[in-house]
Amino acid sequence: MRGQGTWTWGLAVALTAFMFARGFAQGGPDWKALEPEMMEQFQAVLRLDTRNPPGNEHIVAEYLKGVFDKAGIPAQIFALDANRSNVVARLKGNGKKKPILIMGHSDVVTVDDAKWKFPAFSATREGGYVYARGTVDDKDNLTGGLMTMLLLKRYNVPLDRDVIFLSEAGEEGASNFGIGYMVSQHYPEIEAEYCLAEGGGAIRIGGVAKYTTVETLEKIPRGIELVAHGISGHGSIPLKSNAIVHLAGAVARVGQWRPEIRFNETTGTYFRGLATIAAPENAKYYRDVLSTDPKLRAAADEWLFENEPLHSSMLRTSVSPNIFAGGYRSNVIPSEAKATLDVRALPDEDPAAFLEQVKKIVNDPAVDVHFTAQNVRPASKFDARLDSEPYKVLEAAAKRVYNTVTLPTMSTGATDMAQLRARGVQCFGIGAAIDMEDGPKGFGMHSDQERLLESELYRFVRYNYEVVVDLARAK
């Protein structure tokens, strides 16, 4: 039995290896020929209005289910709320290894329609770009994962591990419908050794990919609310206690404040790595911000805030006042005004101590400072390891596809990986290549002109597919 078993096993491996070699020899995916299909899928999901709230991610789940059904890939819908469903598809492997999970969230942040040059759900192609809400958050990963599944199936790639695809709802502030629900109610459906999600990607500077980031750690989002109270009255008689004036002073102070710079292993590695590959004039700032000389550090900090706000946020617990609401009629002094600060805490930040710092900066007894009652993501138990198999595969793919080195990063945004990392899954954040300059110019994620280069969509699908094949194919 044992001998026969070994023989059978050996034959299977040989056959598999043969088929794999043949499959690849016969061309593997013809990436050029696949471009219209990728674009079609990308535009199709971008055109589904899944702004959250209300979400309506079921329209994406139904679309994907239809695509999987047609391709003969088993897929299933899971929903806490019928309008906010998730879809899981699975390609079976031979079970040698534990599964890999590839995921993308189907919801997008809301839009201020009036601000968009191209309608936010038009997925207009213009000048080599696709413009739409979700182009880089997160329908790029959704399309990358979908195409990887379709191609693995189409090319009958033999697998050592199951490849699970998850399109989850509610990532943008309502994860109880998405990853929270899947982890607590249907964890066996998505349980995996590794996972790939949003949060990284190649960075282009001056139009050329310079390095690729893989997210291995993320900041913890904490909202802080400022509430000013004053005396209400008629606007023709200004009052010293005007709640709007007090709150405006507080928001101005806290908005201009830059909390202390602090590094951890990931960000230290990242900035040191960046210094070695950046142009000399930029490298200077990455080295200086690591300096112990407070003057050098402050000057570098200033430069980064002005020119590379993403890097500035990686240095510290960041504070961005994003909502200010007070008053309801121009001739009535309101008795209350509220502002919401979007705070992204470094993983080691002490929330209570930080709140005290904010109070000291606000320095106005008329302004109350407190944490919002918010669905806080769990702190991660395991950071993804830099010496792990997936990290090495990601490094190799970046070298091959983008011709860049890979740097580990701490994401400034929260992702659904937090819940999986809390379960011990090693998660890595990836993504399409974007221009470093796009953020400050107003083309970044959540902006009113969110966009992705068409050529970078195609390249990302290839990167995604090759990483998964490398990690999951039968060897």
Amino acid at 392: K
332 binds other proteins (CB under 8 A): yes
For other proteins, which stretch binds (CB under 8 A), given 12-20, 301-309, 378-386, 429-437?
Answer: 301-309
235 binds other proteins (CB under 8 A): yes
For other proteins, which stretch binds (CB under 8 A), given 95-103, 145-153, 389-397, 412-420?
Answer: 412-420
For other proteins, which stretch binds (CB under 8 A), given 107-115, 162-170, 178-186, 452-460?
Answer: 107-115
Q: How far is the CB of 11 from other proteins (least distance, A)?
A: 53
422 binds other proteins (CB under 8 A): no
Binding to other proteins (CB under 8 A): which residues in 37-66? none
Amino acid at 145: G
231 binds other proteins (CB under 8 A): yes
Q: Which two tokens stand for residue 210?
A: 């310079």
Nearer to other proteins, 319 or 472 (CB): 319
Q: How far is the CB of 226 from other proteins (least distance, A)?
A: 10
Q: How far is the CB of 259 from other proteins (least distance, A)?
A: 10
21 binds other proteins (CB under 8 A): no
Beta bridge partners of 205: 208
Q: How far is the CB of 34 from other proteins (least distance, A)?
A: 30
Amino acid at 270: Y
For other proteins, which stretch binds (CB under 8 A), given 27-35, 117-125, 156-164, 302-310?
Answer: 302-310
Binder of other proteins out of 152, 445, 469, 471 (CB under 8 A) = 445
Binder of other proteins out of 43, 83, 110, 269 (CB under 8 A) = 110
Binding to other proteins (CB under 8 A): which residues in 239-268? 239-240, 242, 244-245, 247-252, 255-256
Nearer to other proteins, 156 or 372 (CB): 372
Binder of other proteins out of 8, 76, 184, 320 (CB under 8 A) = 320
Binder of other proteins out of 204, 344, 359, 462 (CB under 8 A) = 344
CA distances from 67 to 71, 101, 120, 243, 297 (A): 6, 19, 24, 54, 52
Cα(first)–Cα(last) distance of the chain, in Å? 24
For other proteins, which stretch binds (CB under 8 A), given 31-39, 270-278, 383-391, 441-449?
Answer: 441-449
C-alpha triplet 437, 442, 447: angle, nearest 5°: 125
CA distances from 107 to 85, 103, 206 (A): 11, 13, 31
On whether the CB atoms of residues 89 and 74 are closer than 8 A, the answer is: yes
Binding to other proteins (CB under 8 A): which residues in 354-383? 372
CA distances from 396 to 267, 331, 389, 411, 417 (A): 21, 64, 11, 21, 22
Q: How far is the CB of 439 from other proteins (least distance, A)?
A: 6
233 binds other proteins (CB under 8 A): yes
Binder of other proteins out of 112, 260, 281, 387 (CB under 8 A) = 112
Q: How far is the CB of 246 from other proteins (least distance, A)?
A: 8
Binding to other proteins (CB under 8 A): which residues in 116-155? 137
441 binds other proteins (CB under 8 A): yes
For other proteins, which stretch binds (CB under 8 A), given 15-23, 141-149, 406-414, 456-464?
Answer: 406-414
What number of chain residues touch other proteins (CB under 8 A)? 75
Nearer to other proteins, 160 or 448 (CB): 448
Nearer to other proteins, 49 or 342 (CB): 342
On whether the CB atoms of residues 85 and 169 are closer than 8 A, the answer is: yes
176 binds other proteins (CB under 8 A): no
Nearer to other proteins, 117 or 475 (CB): 117
